[in-house]
Structure 1
Amino acid sequence: MEENQTVNESGSSHHHHNIDKISAAGLLIAMGIIYGDIGTSPLYVLKAIAGSEPINEEIILGALSCVFWTLTMQTTIKYVILTLRADNRGEGGILALFALVRRHAKWLTIPAIIGASALLADGIITPPISVASAIEGLRIKFPDIEQTTIVKIVILIISLLFIVQIFGTKKVGYLFGPFMLAWFSMLAILGVVWIAKDLTVLKALNPYYAYELLVHHPGGFWILGSVFLCTTGAEALYSDLGHCGRGNIRISWIFVKICLLLNYFGQGVYVMGLNGQMLGDRNPFYNLMPEWFLPFGIFIATSAAIIASQALISGSFTLISEAIRLNFWPKIKVNYPSDQKGQIYVPSINILLWIGCVSVVLYFSKIAGEMTEKNIADALALNKNLDLAVLTKSSEVLLSSAMEAAYGLAITMTMIMTTTLMAYYLYAKKFNLWGIILFITIYFGIEGAFLIANLQKFPHGGYVSLIIAGIIALVMYIWIRAFKIKTRMTEYEKLDKYTESLKELSADITVPKYATHLVFLSNAGRASEIENKIIYSIFQKRPKRADVYWFVHVDTVDDPYTMEYKVMTVADDDVYKVNFRLGFRVPNKINLYFRRVLEDMVKCGEVDIRSRYESLNKHNVIGDFRFVVLERFLSYENELPFWEGLVMRAYFFIKQYTPSEDKWFGLDSSAVKVEKVPFVIKAIENINLKRIPWTANGSSNGGH
């Protein structure tokens, strides 16, 4: 007998959540969570574009034109208009997109791994550069402040930010929303004041100036590496779709984009006023401010920079929770601080991101110091009579400037992978083929150009983000590959083959009773099958007599919030199999869900869960439940192919640092037995061992 039910936990209302709904609270949360990264780009984009060469008005106009059309083509059209349509029941991000298309082609796993790992790497680079760029505004008010002091302040702020994560992004969003509203308003006002001084800057709206810069100006193409920094937060915008909703993102983006462009163009007016000069240590962003406003501006900018980090951190939590359920990442603890959809906190990832961010700050502060020493040495080699104090100040390389080289390269890879998956999504949805070809041509062209331009950053620090992304991608590859190896090598048996044996064991009073209800967690997706290792555990390892045997399987489905189950009665009142179908965003609370299944079955009269001991049964006492979780370890009895052996050794090495299966499934530890089972991929063959006879005196021939 089989029946379909839905597990109606409180979270199931999320299924019907309208992601196109627009609300004041939703707009406030969107403002606070998802625009930090892209919203603080004005702190460093024009500074990076102006670079260390004399300022040329044509270059600035061309770069501003590139900024405008990048924000329009990349952020607005690709992400806000097109990619946000590819929601997986309200969830966004590269892995949610992968879950929508993975059944169509196995090779899509590759762009998903590359894109996800690069996005996580970007989450480690974003907080340091955003916070450092803002804090360096203190140098305008305090010219003598030392680099080491800046580094300490940046590390302190980043550390406090990661502590805040434990409260959940809903509270963080309400807290940060008003700050970001003030930030974007400030960007717009400062921009308008400066644009009014020279309206000719609006010529940059014409794509002709971008074309002239990229095609005809010597070295103009390489400026794209700096221009790209204006759109790095677009991927986080898509990742945080589940936190804020599509409607709130689209409406708030109109306001955000206008404010950003006004500020970029205002900075353009200031920079073009320095035509022929070197930008030096001037920051175009802070130079827009009147002197009396500077302290307030630095405070608001610092607040916004702190919030900038939030976009990638919350996106990283979302990404990891999806990766775990899709078998891309080790099973680690995921917390749900509130009942709002998409609100999650991953403690171990929070710690790893913090360690990564602090390490990036320390590493690039060392690089900045070395670059400063080189600049001083080069200047003294040309003129030994220079004042050392003045030279040291003028030659100093700022922390944010050193980190710019590491920023952008990884996220370009993510954007290209998102384009690949999105193109396949459009194909799977049977969109117009010529439209898909146009989409691929335009965005592979744009992002390919950005990638080439960003590659020049590789030897100057870009390798840092790629190394981080490479390590993350390696872990993901090991996990998904090991999962496939385990799936391929797991042996299954027909459950009905052992039904009579289970009933006989249940009735055999000569075997001590192990539990009234014995529950095994099974990997067998088919209702009629069970793993060989479970049969071995019940009958051979230690005979486990129980009154009722339960086999529970959890199937992760592509729909993020599915909560369903099926029950198959193998033998009335003796053997049952329960299959849960849970979405990749549903918490793993199997203890809770199983209890709900029992309640439903008792109401329907399908099972009696009372104790079978006479003294307890007559008082309607519920029988005890015992869960058995079988954890594998790599057997010594293996003759492994080299590559698979390497993958499995790496898998089990990582696994020893992750929570046990019972904790991952949310089981009550007092009622769980964890059994270690050897994992044999291929038994050792061709053992050259022969038997020899014993001699009459009791010794063997020819041996010691």
Structure 2
Amino acid sequence: MSGGEAIPDNPPADREPPSELESGRRLRRLPGHGGRHDLIKDGVGWGLTARLAFQSLGVVYGDIGTSPMYLYASTFSDGIKHDDDVLGVLSLILYTLTLIPLVKYGFVVLRATHNGEGGTFALYSLICKHARVGLQGQPTIEDEEDEEDEDQKNEVSKDAREMASRLKSKLEDSQFAKYALLVASMFCAAMVIGDGVLTPCISGVYKLINKASCAVLSAVGGIKQTIESMTQETVVGISIVILIGLFAAQRLGTERVGSCFAPVMCVWFAINGGIGLYNLLKYDPSVVRALDPRYIVRYFSRNGKEAWISLGGVVLATTGSEAMFADVGHFSVRAVQLSMCVVVYPALVLAYLGQVAFLTKNPHLVADAFFKSIPGTLYWPVFVVAILASVIASQALISGTFSIVQQSHSMGCFPPVTIVHTSSKSPGQIYVPEVNWLLMVACVAVTVGFQTTAGICNAYGMAVVMVMVITTSFLVLIMVMIWKVNLLLVVSFVATIGTTELAYLTSVLYKFPQGGYLPLTFAGVLMLIMYTWSDVQRRRHHYELHHRISPDEDSIGAGATTHQSLSRLPGIAVFHSDGDPAPLHGIPPVFKHYVANIPALHSVVVLVSIRTVHVARVRVEERMTFSRVGPPEMRMYRCVARYGYEDGRRRSGESGHVAFEEMLVKVLMEFVRANAMGLELVEEIEVIQRAWDDGVVHLIGEYEMIAGEGSGFWKRLLVDWGYSLLGKIVWRRSGPRVFDLPCSRTVRVGMTYQL
């Protein structure tokens, strides 16, 4: 199977409750990836946390760490008009850097992980878990009980509980709110992926795919400081070569790439902090007076509209902040917080202070402030590290993009893609080949099209701020409805961080014609794909729930031809579904379709739903779960087969289907022995053994979705054209393959769903 699909957390309200056997076996969670649990709480010491914090430097912070290379050039695109303007901008940078990356993401957003994962869809999943706002799922009784226990444990006030209850009711009663939350999640994810196209060009490999574009051009642009004869076309050509090499290295996996990058980023932050401190002491130590926020007021009073427009450059100091949240699943919350507070934040503060101290004496060099402020003897060593850091900056966003695509697919909002897990220790470290190469093509096109970092930075700023605003909006819902935070704290959060982000949003919107349109264009295309796939999958989900068959003999037989009973054939029929939820509770409609056209069943029928779960390995005793379908004499069973992404599905010297079939029959017999008695047990075991000796045939359901009769134009456009095109692309790329089933014993059963 190409991509892993997690077991749904929240079954729909009209779905039957799971059987005792199904609900009795629960998969163990990996340490450090279990929702509320963190490595420290699981008994793992600070030594491992420090090691993870070190590794996170090579994956998470490359984007935000390369911002000093181009921030002042983007902010003062027309030069410095007043000596104190650099102090006003510095004050803006320091307070923005403190409020958004450090406070908001470092200490607030990182609390909102869902099962150890971060990103927009993690926030959306967390909201859906505590309120009936998902278009396909509902919270379980256990979730509601856990929430009540948590309230009592934390002594939540009555007013907070009432406010949370009112908000929850309003969201659950509003169909508009449900669609708005889903669309906002898709839009945010699409913008982040769009960032990935921009980041490799500007600072590394993507700023969770957006920031990357500016870093590489910025770093390579430093060559022109020394080799004056080098043209802009040559710089772009070198950038393209670096980008291609960067994307080609992704197949090695995040673990290997990150292990190499962490030492480089440590050196990079040390260089930035060291040179910043050197320039601060050499040129003008008094620039620390920019901590006085009155410099911000004077800056706006003096420059008016131009100061407001310059916010589009200042916001680049926060690019990469979302990578802290999107990539947290690779490490742990404590590790990301530790690296941010101890290494990243102090180094960036010193870097920005040092550059401003340099600019107070050399305001005419603002366009190349980063490279011009490097002491002459250190220029080439710093330049080499800058190139490496720029590549790494893109890595943060590329890795984040892979994670977002996987989450989108798990939520049913993205077509199936090939998901390659590159680490047996960390489920979050994945590689998505199709996305990787598409991003590479897009990055090269952006680099060639824009030529310089100015337009790319405008586009990047647009994507960055929109993602931040949506994240803040989701976070307010979580603070009120789930965490039940005091209203005064919520208002304070919105008044400071929310207002700051809205101010930046208005500024970047002004630069829409100068490149800001680019991420919106990317997001629009991705949104169209995601919404089309999500909407049709939702319609299919409801179709299957309403057309499933009740698991009794009369209902099963009703699918056969009138006045004709079902014949029983020798052997075992394994009826595979492609991961849809209907087989878990009831019989899928395609089975009725099969029986209606071929009124015969094998002596033993097993309805199999194969799930790839988000853990490395599933214990053998937990891998297959059986329950009975219909009366015992029907000899029909339901099997949920769970596999981790690292589980070997073949035995040494055997093909995959043989190992799978043997395990299936073995666990089935264990189930029968545990649930039958006396003569019934002996008879049922004999039937299964005889059927096994007669052979196994695999029936695979295939589905075609079309708009139902009387559907309007937009529905037909969505289903018959949009989804059909995506389905053909996906099918051509990777048709359903289950354990390398032998062609001679595989029968495909097709069915058309009229949605």
C-alpha displacement of 1:404: 2.1
State the Cα deviation string for residues 37-76 of structure 1 (Å, max 9, x = none): 0000000001112222344221110100111011100111
Residue equivalent to 1:234: 321
C-alpha displacement of 1:489: 3.4
Contact residue 2 and residue 568 of structure 1 kept, 8 A = no
Residue equivalent to 1:392: none
Contact residue 564 and residue 582 of structure 1 kept, 8 A = yes
Give the gaps of 5 or more residues in structure 2. Answer: 1-18, 134-177, 203-214, 650-655
Matching residue within 246, 252, 268 for 1:161: 246
Contact residue 99 and residue 558 of structure 1 kept, 8 A = no
Equivalent residues in 2 for 1:14-25 (5 A)?
A: 15=34, 18-20=38-40, 22=46, 23=48, 24-25=50-51
Give the 3 Å change call, closer, same or farther, for CA 518–531 of structure 1 in structure 2.
closer
Equivalent residues in 2 for 1:481-500 (5 A)?
A: 481-490=535-544, 491-498=547-554
Answer with 207-216 or 262-271: which moved more: 207-216
C-alpha displacement of 1:593: 9.0
Give the 3 Å change call, closer, same or farther, for CA 26–558 of structure 1 in structure 2.
closer
Answer with 37-46 or 659-668: which moved more: 659-668
What amino acid is the match of 2:477?
Y
C-alpha displacement of 1:158: 0.8
Residue equivalent to 1:602: 669
- Between the aligned partners of 2:125 and 2:487, the Cα distance in structure 1 is 22
- Between the aligned partners of 1:512 and 1:596, the Cα distance in structure 2 is 22
Matched, 1:220 2:307: yes
- Between the aligned partners of 1:601 and 1:617, the Cα distance in structure 2 is 11
- Between the aligned partners of 2:104 and 2:356, the Cα distance in structure 1 is 26
Matching residue within 271, 281, 284 for 2:359: 271
- Between the aligned partners of 1:588 and 1:316, the Cα distance in structure 2 is 27
Residue equivalent to 1:654: 726
What amino acid is the match of 1:224?
L
**TM-score after normalising by structure 2:** 0.77
Residue equivalent to 2:154: none
Residue equivalent to 1:640: 711
Paired positions, count:
641
Contact residue 551 and residue 576 of structure 1 kept, 8 A = yes
Contact residue 514 and residue 545 of structure 1 kept, 8 A = no
Matching residue within 168, 189, 194 for 1:121: 194
Q: Equivalent residue of 1:495, what SS?
A: coil
Contact residue 572 and residue 603 of structure 2 kept, 8 A = yes
Q: Equivalent residue of 2:413, what SS?
A: coil
C-alpha displacement of 1:568: 2.5
Equivalent residues in 2 for 1:164-175 (5 A)?
A: 164-175=249-260
Residue equivalent to 1:47: 73
Give the 3 Å change call, closer, same or farther, for CA 496–426 of structure 1 in structure 2.
same
Matching residue within 446, 452, 466 for 1:360: 446
What amino acid is the match of 1:643?
W
Residue equivalent to 2:557: 501
Contact residue 311 and residue 504 of structure 2 kept, 8 A = yes
Q: Equivalent residue of 1:676, what SS?
A: strand
Matched, 1:143 2:210: no
State the Cα deviation string for residues 501-547 of structure 1 (Å, max 9, x = none): 39999x9997765744444457454855223332111x133345322
Q: Equivalent residue of 2:606, what SS?
A: strand
Residue equivalent to 2:501: 447
Give the 3 Å change call, closer, same or farther, for CA 522–257 of structure 1 in structure 2.
closer
Equivalent residues in 2 for 1:505-584 (5 A)?
A: 515-521=572-578, 523=580, 525=582, 529-537=586-594, 539-543=595-599, 545-553=601-609, 567-570=626-629, 571-572=631-632, 574-579=635-640
Matched, 1:3 2:21: yes
Q: Equivalent residue of 1:407, what SS?
A: helix
State the Cα deviation string for residues 264-312 of structure 1 (Å, max 9, x = none): 111101111134xx447x5111112122221111100000000000000
Matching residue within 467, 485, 488 for 1:434: 488
Give the 3 Å change call, closer, same or farther, for CA 11–47 of structure 1 in structure 2.
same
Residue equivalent to 1:187: 272
Matching residue within 129, 132, 143 for 2:217: 132
C-alpha displacement of 1:580: 6.8
What amino acid is the match of 1:314?
S
Q: Equivalent residue of 2:21, what SS?
A: strand
Matching residue within 96, 105, 108 for 1:70: 96
Matching residue within 82, 103, 108 for 1:82: 108
- Between the aligned partners of 1:36 and 1:321, the Cα distance in structure 2 is 22
What amino acid is the match of 2:519?
S
Give the 3 Å change call, closer, same or farther, for CA 641–284 of structure 1 in structure 2.
same
Answer with 411-420 or 495-504: which moved more: 495-504
Answer with 161-170 or 214-223: which moved more: 214-223
Give the 3 Å change call, closer, same or farther, for CA 496–63 of structure 1 in structure 2.
same
- Between the aligned partners of 1:12 and 1:663, the Cα distance in structure 2 is 35
- Between the aligned partners of 2:327 and 2:257, the Cα distance in structure 1 is 14
- Between the aligned partners of 1:234 and 1:42, the Cα distance in structure 2 is 14
- Between the aligned partners of 1:594 and 1:323, the Cα distance in structure 2 is 32
Contact residue 527 and residue 579 of structure 1 kept, 8 A = yes
Give the 3 Å change call, closer, same or farther, for CA 86–215 of structure 1 in structure 2.
farther
Equivalent residues in 2 for 1:400-415 (5 A)?
A: 400-415=453-468
What amino acid is the match of 1:654?
L
C-alpha displacement of 1:473: 1.4
C-alpha displacement of 1:630: 2.3
Contact residue 579 and residue 611 of structure 2 kept, 8 A = no
Q: Equivalent residue of 1:403, what SS?
A: helix
What amino acid is the match of 2:86?
I
Equivalent residues in 2 for 1:290-309 (5 A)?
A: 290-309=375-394
- Between the aligned partners of 2:489 and 2:643, the Cα distance in structure 1 is 35
- Between the aligned partners of 1:415 and 1:60, the Cα distance in structure 2 is 25
Contact residue 629 and residue 672 of structure 1 kept, 8 A = no
- Between the aligned partners of 2:556 and 2:75, the Cα distance in structure 1 is 77
State the Cα deviation string for residues 221-265 of structure 1 (Å, max 9, x = none): 221110000101001111000012111111111211111111111
Matched, 1:674 2:748: yes
Matched, 1:246 2:333: yes
Give the gaps of 5 or more residues in structure 1. Answer: 366-398, 682-704
- Between the aligned partners of 1:523 and 1:231, the Cα distance in structure 2 is 40
C-alpha displacement of 1:625: 4.9
C-alpha displacement of 1:466: 1.2
What amino acid is the match of 1:549?
V
Q: Equivalent residue of 2:626, what SS?
A: strand
- Between the aligned partners of 1:514 and 1:357, the Cα distance in structure 2 is 54
- Between the aligned partners of 1:586 and 1:437, the Cα distance in structure 2 is 46
State the Cα deviation string for residues 618-666 of structure 1 (Å, max 9, x = none): 898594251412222437x743212211211201111111147985675
**TM-score after normalising by structure 1:** 0.82
Give the 3 Å change call, closer, same or farther, for CA 317–610 of structure 1 in structure 2.
farther
Matched, 1:624 2:699: no
C-alpha displacement of 1:617: 5.1
Residue equivalent to 1:691: none
Contact residue 617 and residue 643 of structure 2 kept, 8 A = yes
- Percent of residue pairs identical: 26
Give the 3 Å change call, closer, same or farther, for CA 610–201 of structure 1 in structure 2.
farther
CA RMSD of aligned residues (A): 3.8
Equivalent residues in 2 for 1:359-378 (5 A)?
A: 359-365=445-451
- Point out 4+ residue stretches in structure 1 off by more than 6 angstroms: 9-13, 502-505, 507-511, 554-565, 580-583, 585-597, 607-616
Residue equivalent to 1:416: 469
